[in-house]
A and B are shown apart, each in its own frame.
Chain A
C-alpha cells in the first residue's frame, strides 16, 4: 500500500534559522512527488513536482530534493511569511491519478 509520512509534525524556527522538512514515502512506481503549501482556511498552493531520484527544484527560499525513499524541503533563512503547513503527496502507478498525502508539517517562523 502506498504511504507517505511527514516529519516533524510541527516545527518552530527563528527568522533566519534554516531547516529541513522530511517526507518519507513508499509507493509502487513513483510517477511524481508533490509539495504544497497550505495557509489556514485556504486550499493548498502548488510548489514543486519531483519525478526521479536526484532531482532538485528551487523557488525563492525553498529547495526540494528527492531520493528513492524520501524527499526533503529545505528552507533557507526563513521569514515569518513562510509560516504555513507544508504537504507532501505522491502519485504512484497504481493510483490512477489520485494523490496520496502525508499529514503535513506545520511550520511557524518567529521574527
Chain B
C-alpha cells in the first residue's frame, strides 16, 4: 500500500519552455501533497504544500508564478515549471499524505529535470 507515482521520470527541455510533472497516489486518497526539490548530495527542500481543492502554500523564497501547483483531485497533483531556465534543473520529488493523524508522507520516485 501507499504507492505514489511520478511522471515523467526524466525530462529534458529547452530554456524558456514549460514542463509539467504529475504526481499520483495510486492506492490511497491524498488529502495533502508536497513538492520537494533536491540538489546533489543534499537533503530535501520543501517547495510547497497543496491540499485538494485549495491553493498551494509556498515556502519562503519559492516563486509561485514560476512553480505552478494544482491539486485537482485526491489522487493527482501537478507541478508546472514555467519558462524554465538552466538553474531550474534539479530532482523534483512529490509526496502524499492521506487521511488520518499519522502525518506519514509517502514519496514518489522523483523527476529529473534538465533545462538546456
A and B associate in one complex: yes
Closest to A6 in B: B43
Cα–Cα, bound, A50→B4 (Å): 22
Contact-residue bracket for chain A? 20 to 34
Tell me if B's interface is mostly helix, strand, loop or mixed: strand
Tell me whether B97 and A97 are in contact (CB under 8 A). yes
Tell me whether A46 and B106 are in contact (CB under 8 A). yes
- Chain B interface (Cβ < 8 Å from any Cβ of A): 2, 4, 6, 32, 34, 42-44, 46, 49, 91, 93, 95, 97, 101-110, 112
Q: How far is the CB of A39 from chain B (nearest CB, A)?
A: 10
Cα–Cα, bound, A58→B32 (Å): 28
> Is A43 part of the contact surface with B, judged by Cβ < 8 Å?
yes
Tell me whether A87 and B44 are in contact (CB under 8 A). yes
Q: How far is the CB of B85 from chain A (nearest CB, A)?
A: 23
Q: How far is the CB of B27 from chain A (nearest CB, A)?
A: 14
Tell me whether B104 and A46 are in contact (CB under 8 A). yes
Tell me whether A104 and B43 are in contact (CB under 8 A). yes
Cα–Cα, bound, A71→B43 (Å): 18
Q: How far is the CB of A16 from chain B (nearest CB, A)?
A: 27
Q: Chain B residues near A25 (CB, 8 Å)?
A: none
